[in-house]
Structure 1
């Protein structure tokens, strides 16, 4: 009976963990981020990204929305160049659940234990990198990275990509602590 109560909680945890995005960023501490007001996409770099053109468009549209929300505008003579690149890898999860009663010998074979289930699932974990490059100096000044579970569900792709991009760009511009005098 305890197993039946435990299973819905486990499934809820698995579903919730699928929408989790891990986000990191790094930046050049000497850069003055207040000077960057305009941006453009770096076509030569984006063309090399090995994902579908539809997903590229989804990512670039999400970046556009987030940067415009921050008061930035697209320009032919930008302060920032934006580049993206992606990585993906297959994740395989094996979960074993035992149910039963009895005595046993530690982690070894237990003749008094019965029941048990093994669940195997796989998913694709993707990482999106967003690079912001000073257009004049041609130097990377900020990089954001977001890792999450990808989907082939067409109804959720826009939502997932928007979520990842939003969480990455929430860290731009970096909060720079004032130097102590």
Structure 2
């Protein structure tokens, strides 16, 4: 194979890896807590009392609750409120973010020079200086000790959301986010 063919294959591999970026998941927990003693859970009711929560469909909250119950139900017993070891609280936050970077029509995002061009066509020259607005979605899952009512673990999944998702696509994104967050629990 020629050098240009290998370069094209390498470029496509890097491009595909960049497109498959998943959510960023972070966790934090109370050090020294005995997570092995946890046996049962309950999921607290979501309150749609803020302006941001009212914009999210109650069906979305119901879907998240079902996925959490399914994921934790594989390891812990789901019980009635009052007899649980821990309570699950979750929140969904969607924020508009601003990407101030420029977009070069040949090489994509970046602040650096354009480098060598193979096609010296005037259609490829120039960059757009307009900032881009996008939505950042965050799923926050808090686990609270039922006796002390203090938080013991938090998992957060953040992902840049694309526009125009159907309800089925939204549920698929949320299902993956819940699974990726709860895969990191317990922290031991």
Structure-2-length-normalised TM-score: 0.70
Residue 161 of structure 1 corresponds to which residue in structure 2?
Answer: 174
1:115 lines up with 2:118 in the alignment? no
Q: How does 1:129-148 map to 2 (within 5 A)?
A: 129-148=140-159
Residue 36 of structure 2 corresponds to which residue in structure 1?
Answer: 34
Residue 92 of structure 2 corresponds to which residue in structure 1?
Answer: 86
CA distance in 2, matches of 1:115, 1:83: 52
1:70 lines up with 2:78 in the alignment? no
Structure-1-length-normalised TM-score: 0.72
- What do you get for the CA RMSD once the two structures are aligned? 3.1
| Cα offset, 1:73, TM superposition | 2.3
CA distance in 1, matches of 2:47, 2:24: 25
CA distance in 2, matches of 1:71, 1:138: 19
Residues 75 and 150 (structure 1), Cα distance of their counterparts in 2 relative to 1, 3 Å cut = farther
Runs (4+) of structure 1 exceeding 3 A deviation are 8-15, 91-94, 112-115, 117-123
* Counterpart among 12, 16, 34 of residue 20 in structure 2: 16
1:16-71 deviation per Cα after TM superposition (whole angstroms, max 9, x unaligned): 23xx110011111121111211111222xx21471221111111111111101223
Residue 47 of structure 1 corresponds to which residue in structure 2?
Answer: 47
Residues 75 and 36 (structure 1), Cα distance of their counterparts in 2 relative to 1, 3 Å cut = farther
What residue ranges of structure 1 are gaps of 5+ in the alignment?
100-105, 176-181
